[in-house]
Structure 1
Amino acid sequence: MAGASGGALAAEVTAAGAFGFLAAGYLDPASLRKELALARGILVLAASDRLPVGVGYLAWKLEKSTDAEAEEMLAAALDNHVQAIWLAFGVHIDKWIRYIRTYDEKHRRRDPTLIFVQVPSVEDAVVAVKNWKVDVLVAQGNESGGHGYRAAPPLLTLVSSILQVLPEDAPPLLAAGGMTNGRHVASLLILGADGVVLGTRFLATTASLYTEAQKRALIAAKSGSTVRTMAFDRVRGTVEWPAGVDGRALYNSTVKDVEEGVDIHIAEEKFKKGVQDGDPDRMLVWAGTGVDLISGISTAKDVVNELHDVTLERLEMASKLYTGN
């Protein structure tokens, strides 16, 4: 959700009864603190209050920085006493987990920061649970919008496989990838997930940092409109992602040009102009496979309420199938 989920969206999701994350992404510490201050203001909390939102970090960005720079980025969230930190896409995620826990111990936090770690495979899930002792495990399927591991299985397969090997005392398992409505949520809960993560659905909200042109592109998207690609990272110069990672976005002429070998400098210039003009045939719109089910722009509160209501409705229907009522 880098470039899309800021302090306003995270706060509005939390205020509506879900749990909001904002993306540290490519922000600097000062910008991250500004977004956290915005969230705190919307939730009407004092500076000393725990902030009930999470911050998501690209672990490879931390690893590319000096230790001092990385620690400053993490401190921006920890000093604000956020409730959770999400780590993904890194080689040394355990290093940042140790830093977060040491920070909490040093500051004698009675309510330590919850650590979410995103995984694309059973093997990574086992390491995160047994070695790193994470607080929350997030299984990201291949359907997910934005960046992910191209070899990740479909979400239903991944969640089922992870559940099969987790010990009884395992942390909560959340499912992420391609979900946009309450029917999706209910299906994953019935499968055995403890919760779900939705990203694309919240891109088309009033508090999302996506431009109006990007939001219109989401609404206009059809089934099959998304593709896994590194084209947008190439034209943006953000190719430092770990091996095996690419991103799922709406297919357009930028992807076509890169795939067909158009000179990268020409593709870059067309992309930049497309962003300036709000041209959906050139700009970047990350999106998961369920994007075709988004029909309009709503408030985050309305989205959370709709997800809640439809999820309960479908779970009640499923219970009737079991009881025979």
Structure 2
Amino acid sequence: MQAVKTSLTRLLGIRVPIVCAAMANGANAQTACHIQVEVTRGGGFGFVGAGFSTPESLRQDFDFIRSSFPDRGNKPLPVGYGFIGWLLDKNEDSAKQLLDITIENNVQAIWLAFGTDIHRWIQHVRTSSANARAHHKPLIFVQVTSVEEALVAANEWKVDAIVAQGTESGGHGGASAPSTFTLVSEILAALPQDGAAPAPPILAAGGMATGAQVAAYLSLGAAGAVLGTRFLLTPESAYKPAQRAALLAARGPGATVRTMALDTARASFGWPPNIDGRGLNNKIVDDIEAGVDHATIQARCKAATEAGDSSYMVVWAGQGVSLMNEIKPVKDVMVELHTDLVRQLQKSRRLLQEDS
């Protein structure tokens, strides 16, 4: 199938400018690695969400990934790992251990998000002695939700790629972020990609479900796109059958909502100011808005999760979920996205015609 060339595909050595988001709760351990391995095999690039990983689980991850790519030799493992800044901040020694394990296992990239001191961890990744035990210094991807954050990441931190996450995105993100289209447009205007010293590749993240949507962002000037929810509707996902069924049933503009209610239900506290999450709008949100006490909500959520009742389960999802109609293996999702992307780019090219 025809490769799509952008600054992102050149940076990572991939054929398709599609990245699977680092999802810390939608998938975990070997299951998460399986998704990312299949995305990479499909020509894209996958990030494993390591926000809640332990040193032991990380080492198990790398055993699986290495066995999946037995011929890599000293080449970097063709996956990335994503870390949550505020969780790293909680324990410096533990954070450095997790990052060093990741670095010395020769991953291709590290993604950092949701912290008030991200630069601290960028510096550690770049200067850690673990780099001497690896054969490659990992690329740095940083997630941003505003033009101001993007300017800092590009001009001061000198990151290798910027993930521009708009409000449509599932999971955690900026409570006041603009739409993905607006954010990417503003960042591209502030950080031109074609100057003497081009800015790092800009990846669009939020609300996408199809290759045609990815093509639209490439036409806008983005170097690639990040998808998350679409990969939760796969057999490889750690989402429970009830959660997948809820995603398939989600329709309409009110199907998802930005809220902290879902974090309250699972007692996940500590997120930085102005960060919330987007998930399916269900009875958890209703109870929070009705003033039901948190302990009761948490007990109901636990019981519903054990019973497989999606009406009271945490189901992260982006606004693009309404365009997702079936569960299929990751490799088939990648073929579908790639085919759709190439077809749409070819259609766009036909819009330009010489005057007769």
Counterparts of 2:270 and 2:97 in 1: how far apart (Å)? 21
Contact 2:168 2:319 (8 Å CA) reproduced: yes
Deviation at 1:110, TM superposition (A): 5.9
Contact 1:223 1:291 (8 Å CA) reproduced: no
Q: Secondary structure at the match of 2:124?
A: helix
Q: Secondary structure at the match of 1:91?
A: coil
Question: C-alpha root-mean-square deviation of aligned residues, in Å?
Answer: 1.7
* Cα pair distance change 1:217/1:159, threshold 3 Å: same
Aligned pairs for 1:94-243 within 5 A? 94-103=119-128, 106-107=131-132, 111-167=136-192, 168=195, 169-224=198-253, 225-243=255-273
Deviation at 1:106, TM superposition (A): 4.9
* Cα pair distance change 1:46/1:30, threshold 3 Å: farther
Deviation at 1:209, TM superposition (A): 1.4
Deviation at 1:116, TM superposition (A): 0.2
Q: Secondary structure at the match of 2:53?
A: coil
- Per the alignment, residue 294 of structure 1 pairs with 324
Q: How many residues align?
A: 324
Counterparts of 2:340 and 2:281 in 1: how far apart (Å)? 30
Aligned pairs for 1:50-61 within 5 A? 50-61=76-87
- The reply on whether 1:44 has 2:67 as its aligned counterpart is no
What's the TM-score, normalizing by structure 1?
Answer: 0.96
Counterparts of 1:115 and 1:243 in 2: how far apart (Å)? 24
Counterparts of 2:336 and 2:90 in 1: how far apart (Å)? 40
Contact 1:223 1:290 (8 Å CA) reproduced: no
Counterparts of 2:35 and 2:258 in 1: how far apart (Å)? 26
Counterparts of 2:136 and 2:354 in 1: how far apart (Å)? 44
Amino acid at match of 1:297: I
Counterparts of 1:68 and 1:131 in 2: how far apart (Å)? 25
Contact 1:207 1:300 (8 Å CA) reproduced: yes
Deviations 1:23-74 (A, max 9, x none): 0021212112212322222233567552110001001100111x21110111
Deviation at 1:3, TM superposition (A): 2.1
- The reply on whether 1:322 has 2:352 as its aligned counterpart is yes
- Per the alignment, residue 248 of structure 1 pairs with 278
- Per the alignment, residue 15 of structure 2 pairs with none
Counterparts of 1:142 and 1:106 in 2: how far apart (Å)? 35
- Per the alignment, residue 277 of structure 1 pairs with 307
Contact 1:104 1:113 (8 Å CA) reproduced: no
Unaligned runs of 5+ in 2: 1-22
Counterparts of 2:129 and 2:202 in 1: how far apart (Å)? 23
* Cα pair distance change 1:222/1:73, threshold 3 Å: same
Amino acid at match of 1:128: A
What's the TM-score, normalizing by structure 2?
Answer: 0.88
Q: Secondary structure at the match of 2:252?
A: coil
Contact 1:47 1:80 (8 Å CA) reproduced: no
Deviation at 1:285, TM superposition (A): 0.6
* Cα pair distance change 1:180/1:106, threshold 3 Å: closer
* Cα pair distance change 1:127/1:61, threshold 3 Å: same
Counterparts of 1:324 and 1:26 in 2: how far apart (Å)? 55
Counterparts of 2:250 and 2:165 in 1: how far apart (Å)? 22
Deviation at 1:109, TM superposition (A): 5.7
Counterparts of 1:200 and 1:102 in 2: how far apart (Å)? 34
Pick the aligned partner of 2:333 from 294, 303, 320: 303
Unaligned runs of 5+ in 1: none
**Deviation >4 Å, runs of 4+:** 45-49
Contact 1:9 1:208 (8 Å CA) reproduced: yes
Contact 2:211 2:340 (8 Å CA) reproduced: yes
